[in-house]
Amino acid sequence: MIETTGAKTTVERAETGRDRPGGLSILSWILPFLLLAGLLAAWEVGVRVTDTPSWFLPTPSEIARETVDSRSALWGHTRTTLLEVLVGFSIATLLGVLSALGIASSRTAERTIYPAIVASQAIPIIALAPILLIWFGYGLTPKVIVVVLICFFPIAVNMADGLRAVDPDAIALLRSMGANRWQVMRIVRIPTSLPYLLSGLRIAAAVSVIGAIVGEWVGASSGLGYLMTRSAAQFQTALLFSAVGISALLGITLFTIVALSERWLLPWRKDEKTARQP
């Protein structure tokens, strides 16, 4: 009992430290930044000292210069990829939430839908992409489908778990007050599932860019994945690194946006770390 309380206090203190400006938080921002800067510096120096050719491994400064020089081309490719990601992620969210609600609504629906969801994840996406290319050509559609397939699983499974994670007492309470199925769903099950849905969305956001890049690799005329294959074939290594860096940045940005939306979607969690009266 005493141990639990102690651990909880430590956690709460650590988390308030991160939220509050000043004190611990400045250090927690500076340290990863310093690490990154150190790694880049070591890279720059290492490449220059060993006289490594630029087509094999360009220095960070060369990559930065290439990024600035090719900014308009990079921007065009980034837009293509971003569009695929956003459309795919939105469709996956919609389908994921609907499937989860379906799964939670009845045992029969669960037994029908669940295997299909697992199957959608078991298919190697990289093997599916060429088939999509044959069916839908070089345009937006096959990439969006790959993004949907890769994002759908974590969203649907997490939300379905959340809808089932309801405290049975809470349902008993509502039933005793005469709530119907829809009211039980709206008052307890959906709110209970939202934190689970958000973990699913965070995972989906992190992998969504990977889906779009894979789709573009197989066949495309624009997009960061297309740019990567093209610049690799032409030994434009700095441009290749640039494209890799931007796609990573896209994934991180999407992840952060989803993580921040938690404050808006789950307002009751915002205050959870504030002081509790005994």
Partner 1 sequence: MNAKGTAKLQVKDVAVRFPLGRGIVTALAGLSFSIAQGEFCAVVGPSGCGKSTLLRLIAGLAQPAEGSVDIHSDGSEKPLQSMVFQGNSVFPWMTVLQNAAYGLEMRGVSQPDREDVAERLLIQVGLGEFLNAYPSQLSEGMRQRVAIIRAFAVDPEVLLMDEPFGALDEQTRIILQDELLKIWEATGKTVVFVTHSIDEAMIVADRILVLSARPGTIKADIRVPFPRPRSVETVRSNTEFNQLFLHIWSLLRDDAASAVGAAR
Binding site for partner 1 (CB under 8 A): 167, 169-170, 172-179, 183, 187-188, 191, 194, 266-269, 271-272, 274, 276-278
Measured from the CB atom, the residue of 32 and 168 that comes closer to partner 1 is: 168
How far apart CA 175 and CA 169 sit, in angstroms, is 10
Measured from the CB atom, the residue of 28 and 183 that comes closer to partner 1 is: 183
Q: Closest approach of Cβ 190 to partner 1, in Å?
A: 9
How far apart CA 122 and CA 119 sit, in angstroms, is 5
Q: Closest approach of Cβ 261 to partner 1, in Å?
A: 16
Measured from the CB atom, the residue of 57 and 194 that comes closer to partner 1 is: 194
Q: Closest approach of Cβ 180 to partner 1, in Å?
A: 8
Q: Closest approach of Cβ 194 to partner 1, in Å?
A: 8
Q: Closest approach of Cβ 1 to partner 1, in Å?
A: 13
Q: Closest approach of Cβ 155 to partner 1, in Å?
A: 20
Measured from the CB atom, the residue of 111 and 186 that comes closer to partner 1 is: 186
Measured from the CB atom, the residue of 124 and 278 that comes closer to partner 1 is: 278
Measured from the CB atom, the residue of 191 and 245 that comes closer to partner 1 is: 191
Q: Rounded to 5 degrees, what are φ and ψ at 276?
A: -105, 140
